[in-house]
Structure 1
Amino acid sequence: MTYAIQTQQLSYCHGQQLIVDNLNLQVPVGSIFGFLGPNGSGKTTTIRLLLGLIRLTNPGIQLFGQDIRDERLSILRKVGALIEAPVLYPHLTGYENLQIGQLARQVGRNQIDCVLDMVDLTQDATKQVERYSLGMRQRLGIALALLGNPDLLILDEPTNGLDPSGIRDIRRLLVDLSQVHGKTVFISSHLLSEMEKLVTHVGILNRGHLLFQGPLTQLHHDFSAGISVQTLEDIFLTLINPNA
């Protein structure tokens, strides 16, 4: 199997506190991988490590089979990322925000129309971002991450604060990016019921330890024996609170 993300005993300490502990991630190419865990489990720190925003001497991180220490910038050109809320200029239009991103990423101007179409914002491209709904801003943030046509999209809590309609729009977008455009999507979220509708694979992290990773179907098979209905939320809570 080919992996978009693979880590080998990835660990990180902040002061005396161990945040990520011997993490061996395997994210298959073409998957929608849900990276799940309670607050403080190390999810965002892991994402920052994957993106090289936190530097380690020997990180043990490979993206598409290439060690991130070698040719780091060329490897990261294959990656688009949105960490929490997108950084946008509200007094500018959606198109103008994308122009800034296009210049920063040094990609062709034709990319702007392409990503606007992918996130269904073509009709709203000339509106000032301050007039956008929260869901539209999130989709514009994803459009910015898609500039350069990355193979891997890393999203940290992209549905935070959205209403049910906005969450559904993001879900449809991510499924389309995976199934139609061939992107690998790595997404962290607290919305377990939504993740169950979206992801093909999951990794469950608690206190820096990876408790499970694999296909969602395998998770249900391994932990739902003898139970007629058990949701991802049920399994998640059992894993992180085994004595509850």
Structure 2
Amino acid sequence: MTYAIQTDQLNYSHGGQLIVNNLSLQVPAGSIFGFLGPNGSGKTTTICLLLGLIPTQGPCIQMFGQQLNDQRLLILQKIGALIEAPVLYPHLSGGENMEIGRLARRVERERIGRVLEMVGLAEEARRRVKTYSLGMRQRLGIALALLGDPELLILDEPTNGLDPAGIREMRRLLAELSQVHGKTVFISSHLLDEMEKLVTHVGILNHGKMLFQGPVAQLHSDFAAGATLEEIFLNLTNEPI
């Protein structure tokens, strides 16, 4: 099996506290991987380590079969990321925000229209971002992450603050990015009902340790046939979401 992300006994401590504990993560290429855990479980820290925002020692992270510490710039060119809320210029239009992103990534101008079409914002490109709903802003953030045509999309809590309609639209968009456009989607979230409707694989993290990872079907067969993802999650972590 080909993996977009692999970590080998990844550890990270801060202030004397172990935040990521011996984490061996395997994210299959082409999957929608739900990275789940209670608040404070180490999800965002792990994502920052994967993106090279926090330095690591030794060859403990591989992306696309290459060591992150050896090929960081080459690897990051294949990744699009959105960490919680996107950084946008509200006084500019959606298209103008995309143009700034395009110049930073040095991609062709035609890519803007294609990406806005993918996220359903082509008709809203001339509107100022300050008039966008929260869901539209999140989709614009994903559009910015897609500008470089990445193989891997890393999203940290992209549905935070969205209403039910916005969450449903985000789920549709992420499924299409995987199934139609061939992206690997790595998404952290605590909205377990939504994750169960979307993901193909899941990893459950608590106190920095991986409690389970694998296909969703395997999770159900290993722990409790007929139980929901939320029920299994609460049983594994023994903590409220």
Measured against the shorter chain, the TM-score band is: over 0.9
Deviation at 1:92, TM superposition (A): 0.2
Write out per-residue CA displacement over residues 50-78 of structure 1, whole angstroms, 9 at most, x where no aligned residue: 00000122251011101001121111100
Matches within 5 A, 1:73-92: 73-92=73-92
| Counterparts of 1:151 and 1:99, CA distance in 2 | 21
Secondary structure (helix, strand or coil) at the match of 2:210 reads strand
| Residue of 215, 234, 241 corresponding to 2:238 | 241
Secondary structure (helix, strand or coil) at the match of 2:153 reads strand
Does residue 43 (structure 1) correspond to residue 40 (structure 2)? The answer is: no
CA contact (8 A) 1:4 1:152 kept: yes
| Counterparts of 1:157 and 1:67, CA distance in 2 | 26
Per the alignment, residue 227 of structure 2 pairs with 230
Q: Which runs of 5+ in 2 are unaligned?
A: none
Does residue 60 (structure 1) correspond to residue 57 (structure 2)? The answer is: no
Does residue 193 (structure 1) correspond to residue 190 (structure 2)? The answer is: no
Deviation at 1:224, TM superposition (A): 1.1
Secondary structure (helix, strand or coil) at the match of 1:148 reads coil
Aligned amino acid, residue 39 of structure 1: N
Write out per-residue CA displacement over residues 121-173 of structure 1, whole angstroms, 9 at most, x where no aligned residue: 00000000000000000000000000110000000000000000000000000
| Counterparts of 1:59 and 1:97, CA distance in 2 | 36
Per the alignment, residue 216 of structure 2 pairs with 216
Secondary structure (helix, strand or coil) at the match of 2:160 reads coil
Deviation at 1:15, TM superposition (A): 1.7
| Counterparts of 1:7 and 1:105, CA distance in 2 | 27
| Counterparts of 1:177 and 1:65, CA distance in 2 | 22
Displaced runs of 4 or more, over 3 A: none
Q: Which runs of 5+ in 1 are unaligned?
A: none
| Counterparts of 1:109 and 1:138, CA distance in 2 | 21
TM-score normalised according to structure 2 size: 0.98
CA contact (8 A) 1:10 1:59 kept: no
Secondary structure (helix, strand or coil) at the match of 2:40 reads coil
| Counterparts of 1:50 and 1:43, CA distance in 2 | 11
| Counterparts of 1:180 and 1:211, CA distance in 2 | 31
Matches within 5 A, 1:82-231: 82-225=82-225, 229-231=226-228
| Counterparts of 2:142 and 2:33, CA distance in 1 | 16
Does residue 70 (structure 1) correspond to residue 70 (structure 2)? The answer is: yes
Aligned amino acid, residue 240 of structure 1: T
Q: Percent identity?
A: 74
> Once superposed, what is the RMSD of the aligned Cα atoms?
0.9
| Counterparts of 1:24 and 1:91, CA distance in 2 | 43
